[in-house]
Amino acid sequence: MTSKTRATRRVLVAKPRGYCAGVDRAVQAVERALEQYGAPIYVRKQIVHNTHVVKTLEARGAVFVEETEEVPEGAIVVFSAHGVSPAVHREAAQRRLKTIDATCPLVTKVHNEAKRFASQDYDILLIGHEGHEEVEGTAGEAPEHIQLVDGLDSVGSVRVKDPDRLVWLSQTTLSVDETTETVARLKERFPNLIDPPSDDICYATQNRQVAVKEIAAEAELVIVVGSENSSNSKRLVEVALDHGADASYLVDNASFIRDEWLQGVTTVGVTSGASVPEELVAEVLARLAAHGFEDVEEVESVEESVRFALPHELRKDLRAEV
């Protein structure tokens, strides 16, 4: 790639982008449940954090609720990709709900780490965003052991029982660079802080951040397709700005793009969050082409081949039908 001063209007499209394996699995779980059992299929919280995906599934008969108590007794409910706490599983059992757990396996890994370290009486510093569903689910695994660390500003307020029995875990969709900085600050206070046995920030989050860094270095403007409540999408905007883009915006779809963003711009970078279907990216590219950005180059930074099997509840029922 050449420098930003190129005269031809062009678009650099990051690869990988869009759906990750966990999102694909969760969306397929709702679709398969609708096919097997018929509507309505209840889903606790948004199955993934994308407005378009939620509306599409609603049109097919999915009913999204905030809490398990809103689901009629005995009905089918799907738990979202972000995971739930043990308390939610207990509530579902009390209401005799048939549950389909679409929690991303990489989130489940963090849950299992939390349970293991809590059973060994470690204090756990969970790096993440307060109020995010994934954080609530993980914290619910061992609330008496887990303390939330929401960014650098909260490091100073951390209090622990034993600084020699201390481990950090993280939400899977954070900025890799920011998390590294937060951990470094924590280790200044607690030198014996233990790292998790494997990286908690998921492969897709990391790969999409690596990819956006590459295109941001060449683009005056980076457009990130994703919804406002998508943590990993918002992190892509931040990463783009930190790595060379003059401007970066989060858009739910092509209609959110403002003409004034394109004035004086010769190179636009485009990427999408891990819960964004490719059709929304195609619409953005069409919108840019209508403004003269017809030279499109896909920039691949890393190859992805991860796939996850459907939730076991659906696989079990599929076997029973054969």
Is 31 an annotated catalytic residue? no
Cα–chain center distance at 97: 26
- pTM, two decimals, is 0.92
- What pLDDT score was predicted for residue 318? 47
Report the topology of domain 10-19+203-300.
Cobalt-precorrin-4 Transmethylase; domain 1 (3.40.1010)
* Known binding residues: 20, 49, 82, 104, 132, 172, 202, 230-232, 275
**Which residue numbers belong to the known binding site for isopentenyl diphosphate?**
49, 82, 132, 230-232, 275
Domain 106-189 has CATH 3.40.1010.20: yes
CATH tag for 21-104 (out of 3.40.50.970, 3.60.15.10, 3.50.50.60, 3.40.50.11270): 3.40.50.11270
Domain boundaries, the chain: 10-19+203-300, 21-104, 106-189
Q: Which of 113, 134, 136, 220 is catalytic?
A: 134
Q: Do domains 10-19+203-300 and 21-104 have the same CATH topology?
A: no
pLDDT for 8: 85
Annotated binding site for [4Fe-4S] cluster: 20, 104, 202
The tens-digit pLDDT sequence of the chain (322 residues) is: 444 545 589 999 999 999 999 999 999 999 999 999 999 999 999 999 999 999 999 999 999 999 999 999 999 999 999 999 999 999 999 999 999 999 999 999 999 999 999 999 999 999 999 999 999 999 999 999 999 999 999 999 999 999 999 999 999 999 999 999 999 999 999 999 999 998 899 999 999 999 999 999 999 999 999 999 999 999 999 999 999 999 999 999 999 999 999 999 999 999 999 999 999 999 999 999 999 999 999 999 999 999 999 999 998 654 444 3
Q: Which residues are annotated as a binding site for dimethylallyl diphosphate?
A: 49, 82, 132, 230-232, 275
